[in-house]
Amino acid sequence: MSRPTLTISSRNYSSWSLRGWLMAKLSGIDFEEVFVDPDDAEARAEILLLSPSIRVPCLTYDGVRIWDTLAIGEFLNEIAPDAGLLPKDRFKRARCRSICGEIHSGFTALRSALPMNLKGRHPKFKVWSKAQADIDRIAGIWRECLHAHGGPHLFGEISIADAMYAPVATRYRTYDVPQDEACQAYCEQLFAWPALQEWTALALEEKNEIEELEAEF
């Protein structure tokens, strides 16, 4: 079998690439990265939310391409069942899939108003009401999971859910979004994740900029 590959785009801007990469790291598989330049028209459209996330991230495993982020996570859980990508308990697993599905298909106001930009810092950023509604819903998810499972991650041990919500934490840091104590502590847990630290360090070294995501707020 050839070495698996994971196709990603900009580390600074591509939240879907980050999610897929964190899942791959969590699985423990040995994979090679294939980088698509964010100037590539199709990759750029995905980052700007103008097309579905089909090209990046994309896992190629034994000649088979898996491109949807949740599909990547489910596949990795199948080939690395002891890695803990999904909780062992059936009901926790169902809850984990539910909240991952919610962020996979929802929170469009948050994504549009607070695009991922690891290099950016916008103190006292004014969040418009629709995006705030998304922020409030996410806070509810986080508090409920942390309370139910005891933390420090959403289902106790780190899982796919944390990979799915990690880009949200980076947005909150970029745009100076106020949070309660529990949510802030959870974000700090994510920032302490070695894989996220590795990704962030590489993102800060990127030269590419996407003008549409570098507007003066």
Q: Which of 177, 173, 170, 168 is nearest to 124 (CA)?
A: 177
Protein fold of 90-200: Glutathione S-transferase Yfyf (Class Pi); Chain A, domain 2 (1.20.1050)
Over residues 179-206, the mean pLDDT reads 97
Q: Is the pLDDT of residue 10 over 80?
A: yes
Q: Is the pLDDT of residue 52 over 60?
A: no
Tell me, what's the pLDDT at 55? 72
Q: Is the pLDDT of residue 71 over 80?
A: yes
Most distant CA pair in the chain, distance: 51
Q: Is the pLDDT of residue 2 over 90?
A: no
Question: Model confidence over 141-180: pLDDT tens digits?
Answer: 999 999 999 999 999 999 999 999 999 999 999 999 999 9
Over residues 8-36, the mean pLDDT reads 94
Tell me, what's the pLDDT at 126? 93
Protein fold of 5-83: Glutaredoxin (3.40.30)
Give the model's confidence band at 210: pLDDT under 50 very low, under 70 low, under 90 confident, else very high: low
Question: Model confidence over 86-122: pLDDT tens digits?
Answer: 999 999 999 999 999 999 999 999 999 999 999 999 9
Q: Is the pLDDT of residue 189 over 90?
A: yes
Indicate the residue type of 32: E
Cβ atoms of 74 and 137 within 8 Å: the answer is no
Tell me, what's the pLDDT at 216? 47
Percent of the chain having pLDDT more than 90? Answer: 79
Tell me, what's the pLDDT at 98? 98
DSSP string, the chain: -PPPEEEE--TTT-HHHHHHHHHHHHHT---EEEEPPTTSHHHHHHHTTSS-S-SSSEEEETTEEE-SHHHHHHHHHHH-GGG-SS-SSHHHHHHHHHHHHHHHH--HHHHHHS---TT---TTPPPPHHHHHHHHHHHHHHHHHHHHH-SSBTBBB--HHHHHHHHHHHHHHHTT----HHHHHHHHHHHT-HHHHHHHHHHTT-----GGGS---
Over residues 188-210, the mean pLDDT reads 92
Q: How far apart are CA 53 and CA 65, in angstroms?
A: 14
Instruction: Write out the residue limits of the CATH 1.20.1050.10 domain(s) in the chain.
Output: 90-200
Give the model's confidence band at 56: pLDDT under 50 very low, under 70 low, under 90 confident, else very high: confident
Q: Is the pLDDT of residue 212 over 70?
A: no
Q: Which of 118, 140, 139, 136 is nearest to 127 (CA)?
A: 136
Q: How far apart are CA 212 and CA 192, in angstroms?
A: 30
Instruction: Write out the residue limits of the CATH 3.40.30.10 domain(s) in the chain.
Output: 5-83
